[in-house]
Amino acid sequence: MEPLTIGYIALPVALFLLAMRVPIAAALGVVASVGIFVIFAWRPGADFQPEYAWQPTFSLLIKSPFAFITSYTLSTVPLFIFMGHISYEAGFTTDIYRAARLWLSKLKGGVAMASIVGCGGFSAITGSSVACAAAMGRIAIPEMLKFGYSKPLATGSVAIGGTLGSLIPPSVLFILYGIFAEQSIAKLFIAAIIPGLLSLFAYIVVIYIWVSLKPDAAPVPEETVTRADRMSALGRCWAIVLLFVVVIGGIYAGFFTPTEAAGIGAAASLVLGLVLGRLKTSNIGSALKETVYQSSMIFAIAIGGKLFVNFIALTGMAASITALIDGSGASVVVVIGLMVVMYIFLGMFLDPIGIILLTLPLTIPIVEAFGFSLIWFGVVVIKLLEIGLVTPPIGLN
């Protein structure tokens, strides 16, 4: 059987398994493993000979994931996740939310706007959208409900604000994209700063329009906030600002690589928390536990994705699809538009990490064929995945 035929059979099988809620790591890993075995066992023009497939299949299944998972760049993921959880346990994220709430207290919808700003601050020291939404949800939603905000506005603002964790650096999705697309993670981080800030501003504008049309959704809190209160709250944000400047500023200035920045940021957040007396042994233990849990999940998905990438490479599907699109004469706008629709549709049902690992082997060759920057394409993809994080029926955030 032709490898290309095997690929075109395996791809819908993988999508079906994902639609059936089979864990992403298992779905991609199993389909890729079986597909690789069939390719080696069923050579074009020959009979099915499984005895010739065991050794090359197992060799690929063992060596490729091990080389990938032990890569120096991938160590960035648990370090950034640890920095985010330590900062949350130390209350640094609460500080920036409280400062934003006090400074915006007199505005209609000010507490919801503060939630967006708080999510932006949390995103600046961690790389997970879901973690950002979960952490800020525990802080901001009870606060908004206490002030009489409507539940749709309270939950919606945190859910959409949490998506900033994917776009504002550092971002786990950008790290994985950079590894699989073989692009500079530092350049991806820098490229995402302005789109991230524009998204944050746009979300605030939407809240303003929402509360203007529905004033009952966001009563103005009846509390007395003095200038001293605002300045005091702002002064407590120095720790999170320092962490962001050290990590992103260090990368931008070329003082260290993203991996080194992750290590420095993780160590700095731990030291700041201990020196300021805001961390206990239980807090550190909780941060480590969450870091291990999230990192293990991401690494398992990444291994399945790596096997799937190898499988797609063996089938020649990417080259076939690129040639098909090139021969169709479709315009650049049509091709990019179809990719946008595809990413938004997949985002309605699947985890962002799984979508990246499932689609990049097919979309990157197409983007390269049209001469687009893969840095630009990376920012576009992550923004589309943000939309998926809040789009029914799943909407992980």
Length of the chain: 397
Residue 173 CA to residue 164 CA, distance in Å, equals 11
CB 208 within 8 A of CB 109: yes
Long-range pairs for 6-14: beta carbons < 8 A, 24 or more residues apart: 6/35, 6/38, 6/39, 6/42, 6/315, 7/35, 7/311, 7/312, 7/315, 7/316, 7/317, 8/315, 8/317, 10/34, 10/35, 10/311, 10/315, 11/317, 14/308, 14/358
Per-residue pLDDT of the chain (397 residues; tens, 9 = 90+): 788 888 889 888 988 888 788 888 898 899 999 999 998 888 877 788 888 888 988 888 888 888 888 888 888 888 888 888 898 888 888 888 888 888 887 888 888 998 898 888 877 777 678 778 887 888 888 888 888 899 999 999 989 988 888 888 888 889 889 988 889 998 999 999 999 999 999 999 999 999 999 988 888 776 777 888 889 888 888 888 888 888 888 888 888 888 888 899 899 999 999 999 998 889 899 999 988 988 898 888 888 888 888 888 888 887 888 888 877 778 888 989 989 988 888 888 777 888 888 888 888 988 988 888 999 999 999 999 888 888 887 777 7
Residue 117 CA to residue 97 CA, distance in Å, equals 7
